[in-house]
Chains A and B, each alone.
Chain A
């Protein structure tokens, strides 16, 4: 339920195109970064060789490829799917691990800087939705477990 997906038909088309390569900021500025190679591996049934590779994390999710794409697909679809697979195997970068832990625990990526707020004369921050969020996330995981069992 609510899992990430990858449309293989569109990916197949994408592997024959490559048009957005030249406007992708990571392709232009990071030597060796090339989603086309990742896409080829996926179609060849060899996606596993990218699971521990830093390239899949170097997609900046700038959505340039998505906007350029004649099928509104984008390199990023494949890169996001690969990141999801890598994460499920525990191969995500340490900072992503720390960020995720903080997010599930507190529902935020940091707490309001109270002393600085006071100095600037800012009002008290509003109540966070942390408790409700934790409930919601637990519900999602319960439902997923039910789906699996059925």
Chain B
């Protein structure tokens, strides 16, 4: 497997270092050749930087990609936004040789070159395509049989598809495959692919951001989902933090929000404490307790084999 640089991004390192922790733990467990490299900046965040200055958006992303291009590494990120933004710019430059030449003219003056050769992948499609469901199944210590999980892909894990080529942009399956591989049920529901709406918090429209969170959380509550599983810090902020703010105002949903790396970490045998899950605003206890109870039950079809083949009364 090719070495890859992990692009942590601003949100995880600033607000959710425990996500970095669980990500490192699972990468280590699978002995994956990941590297930390010097020189990354913000990806940059499209909805902010691209709305102010398209040129700044392009050159910043091109420079970040150039860093991995030069080292001959690939890039993997546990943030959907980061990968989507970097890939969007790579796609734009590869499709526009003139623009690419302009950008490289600038990069040359700081001693860099964008070639666009590195593969840019989000952690979920990376685990699906490169590690593989089969390897994951072999490695885990305990699965999630009996657990009802609602997945939230996060728009930028799969879109824009021309740039990412990660999964079907309107009917994605890879995250589902991973969750089923871990033994859980992946619930199908109306708002499964609905945008989280966290962007509204970034333009001073907090109430509307809450409206978006509420739509999905209500449905999950009605379906009695055991958890909402996702792999994007922005979506995590929306469903963990904003759910907490709504609960403080008396609206109760009780839906634990679990990062993909945490779920995988639990299956690998790490404790919730080690994985840093106590840092969530919404308590994950209901999920963990149900999981404990399930494992206390007898194994599937226990005794059947003996019943069919053992000594009998027929003589």
Contacts and interface: CB of A to CB of B under 8 A. Distances in A.
A103 B215 contact: no
A100 B199 CA distance: 15
Nearest to A143: B106
B51 A67 contact: no
A99 interface: yes
B159 A62 contact: yes
Given A25-B194, A117-B17, A107 B41 contact: yes
Contacts of B200: 58, 60
Secondary structure dominating the interface of B: helix
A2 B41 contact: no
A80 B51 contact: yes
Interface stretch (B52-60, B174-182, B290-298): B52-60
B212 interface: yes
Interface in A58-101: 58, 60-64, 66-68, 72, 80, 83-84, 87, 92-96, 99-100
B204 interface: yes
B155 A64 contact: yes
Range class of the A interface residue count: 35 or more
A136 B59 contact: yes
B41 A133 contact: yes
Interface in B155-174: 155-156, 159-162, 169-170
**Candidate in B52, B63, B202 with the most chain A CB atoms within 10 angstroms:** B52
Nearest to B6: A126
A113 interface: yes
Interface stretch (B42-50, B116-124, B263-271): B42-50
A149 interface: no
Contact of B205 (A2, A58, A137): A58
A137 B199 CA distance: 25
A109 B10 contact: yes
B11 interface: yes
B285 interface: no
Interface of B: 10-11, 13-15, 17-18, 20-21, 24, 36-42, 44-52, 54-56, 58-60, 63-64, 67, 99, 102-103, 105-107, 109-110, 112, 155-156, 159-162, 169-170, 194-195, 197, 199-200, 202-205, 208, 211-212, 215, 276
9 nearest A-B pairs in the assembled complex, by CB-CB distance: A110-B14, A2-B55, A107-B41, A63-B159, A129-B39, A62-B195, A109-B10, A4-B54, A62-B155
